[in-house]
């Protein structure tokens, strides 16, 4: 321990008020960064030795001492508490305790400001790659279900009103596309995260002859930040990540909402397995869709972190301000939440949900979602579409008032509406046919969907 009552300098005479020490400390959460802090420090020490700011032996001792702290931490033997303001001080303190005065050389030509910016980038870089893997697992689950349900029909909705029937696979593959964009977004952000701020110093650089490119290379950064002020002040990479994270959970939340609706008695399109549902403490008949409900709920949390990070940054003058210590919990919680949601929804889709094809095909046969096809039928025989559309409107109105469906009309009645109707109208309005004919590129026609499944599978390998 230093002789000062504080880790930072002899300028201070009295110790911090205990409540203020607690208020000020980030060790409770930035301990999450410890391995990145150690790795960053090892690279810094190697660089110091390479350019001759410290000797090769000193560099070696620092690297080894840091490695030992990593092992101690992994084995539960190093548990910094409130005595250490943050993880950076904790590691430096332990290093000096364990290897002696050489440890005090580690912080040459460095500040906690460029150090913490480096740690956060190293942390996020790894987490982005992990979330990309999670997204692929989610996509694989979507494809597996889609493959099973190319020929299963499901009502398609707009305004939550029956619109046109769909191949269930087509519906699921819509989520595949969203996940694909989520994956790409992370991939793009990755390259802006992967830039090295180390060597920016407190804000202005350093008079020591450091080699920032060497450090960056050791840490496998793609580039070195060009402006030291920006290097310690920039958190827009974190905002971008939180935005990407928000979009991921927003997509999961929409799917969750559908699963919740589908599992209701009113829809009964799916059943959820006992392994992923829970009961009520009072109503014995209940089986609740907790997983999608929680995903929908946790989505709000991630959105909140994005808002918090933006608000945190908006009024900050350059360069580092202590406000920025608040960036970490947002990030950590967003990462944990997104990963947990992806995992839970992947399990739900892979092994916790059963679509009910019979109920689904009954559903698509009991509505007017084939009305567009009647208009298309006449339009393909030369009737102007708008005229056909108006006529079908009348037809639907008649059916509704009689409590019947289009398929219940006799050919005679069809003809009384328009002489161009022939026997093949019955086939044209059958739900499977309604789906099959929508073979335009990207449409729900079975042939299209078969190709979409193949294309999606190819993207995953």
Nearer to ligand ARG, 169 or 331 (CB): 331
Q: Are 21 and 84 in contact (CB under 8 A)?
A: no
Is residue 116 involved in binding ligand ARG (CB under 6 A)?
Answer: yes
The site map against ligand ARG for 42-81 (x = CB under 6 A) is: ----------------------------------------
User: In the annotation, is 280 catalytic?
Assistant: yes
**Which position among 4, 264, 273, 280 bears the catalytic label?**
280
Q: State which of residues 30, 84, 134, 373 lies at the interface with ligand ARG (CB under 6 A).
A: 30
| Range in contact with ligand ARG (rule: CB under 6 A) among 54-62, 183-191, 318-326, 379-387 | 318-326
**From candidates 37, 84, 86, 114, binder to ligand ARG by CB under 6 A:** 86
Binding mask 393-422 for ligand ARG (x = CB under 6 A): ------------------------------
Q: How far is the CB of 86 from ligand ARG (least distance, A)?
A: 4
CB of 232: closest distance to ligand ARG in angstroms? 9
Query: Are β-strands 153-158 and 161-167 bridged in parallel, bridged antiparallel, or unpaired?
Result: antiparallel
What is the nearest approach in angstroms of ligand ARG to the Cβ of residue 109?
Answer: 16
Out of 159, 401, 410, 440, pick the active-site residue. 159
By CB under 6 A, tell whether 113 contacts ligand ARG: yes
- Which region, judged by CB under 6 A, interacts with ligand ARG, from 111-119, 267-275, 341-349, 378-386? 111-119
CA distance 93 to 8: 11
**Binds ligand ARG (CB under 6 A): choice among 131, 324, 363, 399:** 324
Cα distances (angstroms) measured from residue 157 to each of 19, 162, 164, 341 = 56, 5, 7, 25
**Measured from the CB of residue 123, what is the shortest distance to ligand ARG in angstroms?**
12
Distance between CA atoms of residues 235 and 313, nearest Å = 8
Would you count residue 26 as binding ligand ARG (CB under 6 A)? yes
Region of 108-116, 279-287, 332-340, 350-358 interacting with ligand ARG (CB under 6 A) = 108-116
Nearer to ligand ARG, 140 or 316 (CB): 316
Residues of span 365-394 touching ligand ARG by CB under 6 A: none
Minimum distance from CB of 224 to ligand ARG (Å)? 20
> Measured in Å, how far apart are the chain's first and last C-alpha atoms?
53
Least Å distance, CB 335 to ligand ARG, is 16
Q: Report the distance separating Cα 404 and Cα 393, nearest Å.
A: 14
Closest C-alpha to 47, from 286, 268, 219: 219
Written as six digits, the tokens of 180 are 């694909």
Q: From 188-196, 319-327, 343-351, 384-392, give the range in contact with ligand ARG by CB under 6 A.
A: 319-327
> Site residues for ligand ARG, window 216-275 (CB under 6 A)?
none
β-bridge mates for residue 162, sequence order: 157
The least CB distance from residue 213 to ligand ARG, in Å, is 24
Pick from 112, 170, 212, 305 the residue near ligand ARG by CB under 6 A: 112
The residues annotated with a catalytic role in the active site are 159, 280
Contacts to ligand ARG by CB under 6 A: 26, 30, 86, 112-113, 116, 320, 322, 324-325
């Amino acid at each position: 321990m230093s002789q000062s009552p504080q880790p930072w300098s002899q300028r201070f005479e009295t110790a911090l008020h205990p409540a203020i020490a607690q208020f000020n400390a980030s060790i409770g959460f930035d301990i999450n960064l410890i391995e990145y802090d150690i790795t960053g420090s090892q690279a810094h020490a190697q660089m110091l030795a390479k350019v001759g700011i410290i000797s090769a032996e000193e560099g070696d001792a620092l690297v080894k001492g840091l490695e030992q702290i990593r092992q101690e931490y992994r084995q539960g033997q190093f548990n910094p508490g409130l005595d250490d303001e943050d993880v950076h001080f904790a590691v430096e303190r332990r290093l000096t305790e364990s290897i002696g005065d050489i440890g005090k050389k580690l912080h040459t030509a460095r500040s906690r400001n460029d150090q913490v910016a480096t740690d956060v980038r190293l942390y996020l870089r790894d987490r982005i790659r992990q979330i990309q893997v999670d997204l692929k697992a989610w996509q694989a689950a979507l494809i597996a279900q889609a493959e099973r349900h190319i020929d299963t029909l499901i009502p398609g909705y707009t305004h939550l009103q029956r619109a046109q029937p769909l191949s269930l696979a087509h519906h699921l593959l819509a989520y595949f596309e969203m996940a694909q964009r989520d994956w790409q977004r992370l991939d793009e952000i990755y390259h802006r995260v992967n830039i090295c701020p180390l060597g920016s110093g407190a804000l202005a650089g350093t008079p020591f002859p450091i080699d920032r490119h060497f450090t960056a290379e050791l840490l496998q950064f793609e580039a070195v930040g060009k402006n030291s002020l920006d290097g310690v002040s920039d958190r827009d990479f974190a905002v971008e990540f939180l935005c990407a994270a928000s979009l991921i959970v927003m997509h999961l939340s929409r799917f969750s909402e559908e699963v919740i609706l589908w599992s209701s008695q009113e829809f009964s399109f799916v059943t959820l397995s006992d392994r992923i549902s829970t009961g009520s403490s009072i109503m014995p008949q209940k089986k609740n869709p907790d997983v999608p409900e929680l995903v929908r709920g946790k989505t709000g949390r991630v959105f909140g972190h994005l808002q918090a990070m933006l608000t945190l940054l908006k009024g900050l003058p350059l360069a580092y301000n202590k406000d920025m210590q608040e960036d970490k919990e947002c990030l950590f919680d967003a990462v944990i939440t997104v990963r947990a949601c992806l995992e839970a929804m992947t399990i739900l889709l892979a092994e916790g949900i059963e679509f009910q094809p019979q109920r689904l095909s009954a559903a698509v046969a009991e509505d007017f979602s084939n009305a567009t096809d009647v208009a298309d039928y006449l339009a393909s025989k030369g009737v102007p579409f708008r005229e056909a559309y108006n006529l079908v409107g009348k037809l639907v109105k008649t059916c509704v008032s009689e409590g019947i469906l289009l398929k219940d009309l006799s050919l005679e009645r069809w003809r009384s509406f328009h002489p161009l109707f022939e026997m093949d109208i019955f086939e044209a309005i059958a739900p499977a046919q309604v789906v099959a004919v929508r073979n335009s590129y990207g449409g729900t026609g079975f042939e299209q969907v078969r190709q979409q499944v193949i294309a999606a599978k190819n993207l995953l390998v």
